[in-house]
């Protein structure tokens, strides 16, 4: 199964609260990942990658002669050709974390 929520154990409330434009107070979270936990990092990487292209579909979609890694890096993941690759990837990263938070911790369908 490509989907996991193990990485959400690294998401912690900081104890801070901020007021948003509606006047509501919302908690601030910190994502304190543990790079030494190779198993969770590996599962999380697969989970993140599958948001771009399901592992089961890569063999069907990638051009002949291209490795899975080449396909993902050159055709699926946002690249730096527009100068926006890193900022696009960080935005995607944040969106996926928020979707995971809502899906796995609050039982929303995202």
pLDDT in tens, 51-92: 888 888 998 999 999 999 898 888 888 777 767 777 787 888
Split at pLDDT 50, 70, 90, the class of 2 is low
Q: What is the pTM of this model?
A: 0.75
CA dihedral 95, 101, 104, 110 (to 10 degrees): -40
Paired tokens of 36: 């030494």
Q: Which letter does DSSP use for residue 19 in this model? A: E
């Amino acid at each position: 199964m490509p989907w996991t929520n193990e990485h959400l154990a690294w998401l912690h409330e900081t104890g801070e609260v901020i007021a948003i434009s509606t006047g509501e107070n919302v908690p601030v979270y910190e994502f304190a990942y543990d790079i030494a936990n190779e198993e969770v990092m590996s599962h999380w990487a697969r989970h993140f990658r599958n948001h771009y292209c399901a592992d089961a579909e890569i063999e069907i979609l990638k051009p002949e002669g291209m490795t899975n890694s080449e396909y993902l890096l050159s055709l699926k993941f946002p690249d730096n050709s527009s100068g926006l690759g890193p900022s696009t990837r960080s935005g995607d990263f944040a969106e996926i974390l928020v979707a995971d938070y809502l899906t796995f911790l609050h039982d929303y369908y995202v």
